[in-house]
């Protein structure tokens, strides 16, 4: 018998994803349709992570990139730039909380000056 995972803690993230899927129009059969959905999911999940997962500055004691490889920092930077582009295109769909979440996540992706991963 396989052990069932308790996914209850992921319910808020699942709601963000489900809402994004419901709210994002997708043009079936076109590459743009998939790109639009991917972009919106990236933006909404990044905003969720910035609000709910990433600790406040007051709670951070070590380098922000601790535990991330240079490749992970680079990928996070790329994803956040895509998110920022989509937020700029769809400005009226985002508020100050979303902007703050994006800014918080960008701090994680920045290389740490002393001893952190270089991009």
Give the pLDDT mean for 80-93. 82
The number of domains in the chain is 1
Give the pLDDT mean for 94-99. 83
Question: Do you know the residue count of the chain?
Answer: 119
Q: What does the pLDDT read at residue 6?
A: 77
SS3 for 95?
coil
Q: What does the pLDDT read at residue 74?
A: 80
Give CA–CA dist 111/119, Å, rounded: 7
Q: What does the pLDDT read at residue 45?
A: 84
Q: What does the pLDDT read at residue 27?
A: 78
Give CA–CA dist 111/76, Å, rounded: 11
In a domain, 83, yes or no: yes
Structural domain boundaries enclosing 21: 12-57+67-109
Task: List CB contacts of 93: < 8 A, sequence separation 6 or more.
Answer: 87
In a domain, 99, yes or no: yes
Q: What does the pLDDT read at residue 51?
A: 74
In a domain, 51, yes or no: yes
Tokens for 56, please give them: 């406040």
In percent, the amount of the chain with pLDDT more than 70 equals: 78
């Amino acid at each position: 018998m396989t052990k069932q995972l308790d996914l209850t803690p992921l319910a808020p993230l699942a709601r963000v994803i489900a809402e994004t899927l419901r709210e994002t129009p997708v043009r079936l059969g076109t590459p743009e349709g998939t790109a639009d959905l991917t972009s919106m999911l990236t933006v909404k999940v990044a905003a969720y992570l910035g609000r709910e997962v990433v600790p406040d500055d007051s709670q951070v004691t070590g380098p922000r990139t601790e535990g991330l490889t240079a490749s992970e920092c680079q990928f996070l930077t790329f994803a956040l730039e895509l998110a920022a582009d989509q937020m700029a295109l769809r400005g009226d769909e985002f508020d100050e909380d979303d902007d703050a979440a994006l800014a918080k996540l960008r701090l994680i992706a920045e290389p740490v000056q002393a001893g952190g991963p270089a991009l």
